[in-house]
Amino acid sequence: MKLKEIAERLDCTLDGEGEIEITGVNSLERAGAGELSFLSNRKYTPLLQTTRAGAVLLPKDFGQVGLPALRCPEPYLAFAKALEFFYKPPRPAAGVHPTAVIAPSARVGPNASIGPYAVVEEDVEIGSNAVLHSHVVIYRGAKIGNDFYAHSHAVVREFCRIGNRVTLQNGVIIGADGFGFAKQSDGSQYKIVQSGIAILEDDVEVQAQSCVDRATV
């Protein structure tokens, strides 16, 4: 992709040669001749003297540098967007793996991808374009919106509610029991039923091995 095209797509001001071919992005220390880098923290300014990057994203008010530059208000944000020009996470094809288990009463929207050993229990509702990787488990009665993406070993517990465009990274548990015990007269602890539910609204991403517990009520 030519540097001038990247400038247009990121709404940056271009300083220097726009015909340079950019093949990827990288840090100032590691970038090569065909890669785009960025500077947002000025304490790293000395790296501009030694970088081999083909071009760099800079703040609008930064001085002249000895390589082509794309100037913008937020170089770090622009760099994050530029990453998407060169890397697209693979998306599995639609379909249900033969080892997946989907309850007869579950309703799964169109264009879903259900991976090996995934389980969708009774009365679950999942919207369109869902991706459930291997060993994902959706407990009974959960309700999930469109564009749900669950990585391997994610779990959504019974009756939880999840909105649209939610991503669960590996090992996330939504709706596990919270910590609730009542002390009895003999000193032992009586477990309190966690009858509440966990709710995630639209456009949420939960990072790996995290847990969003359900409450008592």
Q: What is the percent of the chain where pLDDT is above 70?
A: 100
- Distance in angstroms (rounded) separating the CA atoms of residues 93 and 23: 27
pLDDT-based confidence at residue 203 (cuts at 50, 70, 90): very high
Average pLDDT over every residue of 34-46: 95
| C-alpha count within 13 angstroms, C-beta hemisphere, residue 193 | 1
Single-letter amino acid code for the residue at 186? D
- For residue 215, pLDDT over 90 is answered with no
- Distance in angstroms (rounded) separating the CA atoms of residues 165 and 113: 15
Nearest 5°: CA angle at 192, between 204 and 152?
Answer: 35
- For residue 200, pLDDT over 90 is answered with yes
In contact, 140 and 159? CB cutoff 8 Å:
yes
- 46's CB contacts (< 8 A; 6+ apart) are none
Provide the residue count of the chain.
Answer: 217
In contact, 123 and 104? CB cutoff 8 Å:
no
- Distance in angstroms (rounded) separating the CA atoms of residues 174 and 176: 6
Among candidates 132, 89, 91, which has minimal Cα distance to 108?
132
**H/E element, 191:** strand 189-191
At 216 the pLDDT is 84
What's the pTM?
A: 0.86
Torsions phi, psi for 42 (to 5 deg): -70, -10
pLDDT for 100-131, tens place per residue? Answer: 999 999 999 999 999 999 999 999 999 999 99
